[in-house]
Structure 1
Amino acid sequence: MESLLPFLLFAFVASITPGPTNILVLSHSSRWGLGATLPIIFGACVAAALIVFAVGLGVGETLLRFPRVQQAMVWIGVFWLSWLAWQIFQSAPPSLNPTTPRDEGLSVFGAATLQLLNPKVWMMAVAVVSVFAGGGDKTMRLVLLSLVFLLVSLPCMTLWALLGVGSARFFGSPQAFKRVNHALAFLLLVSAWLTVLV
């Protein structure tokens, strides 16, 4: 396990840097709070760890053999993220009236699906496997890398959720909430489209 420390650093940087999932977690927590966002964080982190494991077992090589499938995944992901950005952009500020019906937001399944369609997650998983998995029988190493990635990504994404909760308190007015949502929608849109334009 001589490469565990470099992998820990890699996992931290991959998990803490802005990306579509972190932006959605920030937006979700600013609207519904930390408690409602924790299942989404868990779903996204487990899905990312499972993608690392699946890529290590050969899914990554299979995708490399079928570039059209890769391209389709990228475009589906970009369009879905664009739709989510639109949802964030047009969402109304949360109601202070407790009798107002509450919409659900992103689900655990939605967060996990987002990871499956997120090009950043797949690129990260390919990098993990090619740099840190090593040769030979690597099943146990893949389990360890996936578990470590999960354990590193959970607190990193929770930090983004806490940032969202803090922004909701700081920007308490409906106008400020809309401005924050417009900025988050723009960032999500940029992060989605940069994957195909750059």
Structure 2
Amino acid sequence: MSSSLLPFILFALVASISPGPTNLLILAHGAHNGLRASLAPIFAACAAAAAIVWVVGLGLGEVLLRHPLAQQVMSWVGVLWLSRLAWQLFRAAGEPLHATARQRFGVGSAASLQLVNPKVWLMAVAVIGVFATPGLPVWHLALVFLIIALPCMGAWALLGIGSARWLRSPRHLQRFNQLLALLLLVSAWSALLA
């Protein structure tokens, strides 16, 4: 085992389990649709994030560092898209769980969210800058990140599922969705402003 693998595992654990836009959307999806329906978006989001680590390590990170305007445009597009998702979640706050079940956070949405999620790009650049060594190649980092991210994001879905019983009350559901929308806004904008 490489001496930098354990610190990377700890970093990946913290990056994957900490609240962020994707985790919050998986939490809401789990609450509204259950675990089975959440498995595909969880895998798509984690695989896309691992792929971003891989392509950043293959050289895209250098391109982004050399072209700060491109990085800034990507960040703004991501924050605006996440803000739109937060607004939709906030507006749908009063809908009962069975009515929102048809509005699933699908595989395509989960994977494409990673492309515009500022937290994922910041994390990928940090991973490559700090942990990529000849003894720990980029594809190892991406694979380990995927293996760690899957159960972490699954925990967010389970947290949502656990809260579903409490969310049967329209008032509780409204507060839950509004809180998640506000947290989504804060997480997106804090990543941009960091």
Name the structure with the higher helix share.
2
Counterpart AA for 2:112: T
Deviation at 1:102, TM superposition (A): 4.8
Contact 1:55 1:61 in 2 (8 A): yes
TM-score normalised to structure 1 length: 0.91
Instruction: Name the residue aligned to 2:16.
Output: 15
Contact 1:115 1:121 in 2 (8 A): yes
Give CA-to-partner distance per residue, 1:141-185, whole Å, 9 cap, x none: 211111110000000000000000111112321221111000000
Counterpart AA for 1:133: A
Query: Which residue of the other structure, out of 170, 180, 190, is the alignment partner of 2:176?
Result: 180
TM-score normalised to structure 2 length: 0.93
Contact 2:54 2:138 in 1 (8 A): yes
SS at match of 2:157: helix
Instruction: Name the residue aligned to 1:65.
Output: 66
Deviation at 1:105, TM superposition (A): 2.0
Give CA-to-partner distance per residue, 1:85-109, whole Å, 9 cap, x none: 11111221223xxxx7952322111
Give CA-to-partner distance per residue, 1:104-140, whole Å, 9 cap, x none: 32211111111111111111111111111115xx7x7
Instruction: Name the residue aligned to 2:127.
Output: 128
CA distance in 1 between counterparts of 2:80 and 2:57 reads 27
Contact 1:27 1:88 in 2 (8 A): no
Uncovered stretches (5+) of structure 2, i.e. residues with no partner: none
Matches within 5 A, 1:61-140: 61-91=62-92, 92-95=95-98, 102-135=101-134
Counterpart AA for 1:179: R
Contact 1:52 1:129 in 2 (8 A): yes
Seen in structure 2, the aligned counterparts of structure 1 residues 104 and 80 have a Cα distance that, compared at 3 Å, is same
Uncovered stretches (5+) of structure 1, i.e. residues with no partner: none
Counterpart AA for 1:93: P
Runs of 4+ in 1 over 6 A off after TM superposition: none
Seen in structure 2, the aligned counterparts of structure 1 residues 31 and 101 have a Cα distance that, compared at 3 Å, is closer
Seen in structure 2, the aligned counterparts of structure 1 residues 88 and 118 have a Cα distance that, compared at 3 Å, is same
SS at match of 1:134: coil
RMSD in angstroms over aligned alpha carbons?
1.6
Count matched residues. Answer: 191
Counterpart AA for 2:162: G
Percent identity over paired residues: 57
Give CA-to-partner distance per residue, 1:61-88, whole Å, 9 cap, x none: 1011111111111111011101111111
CA distance in 1 between counterparts of 2:125 and 2:81 reads 22
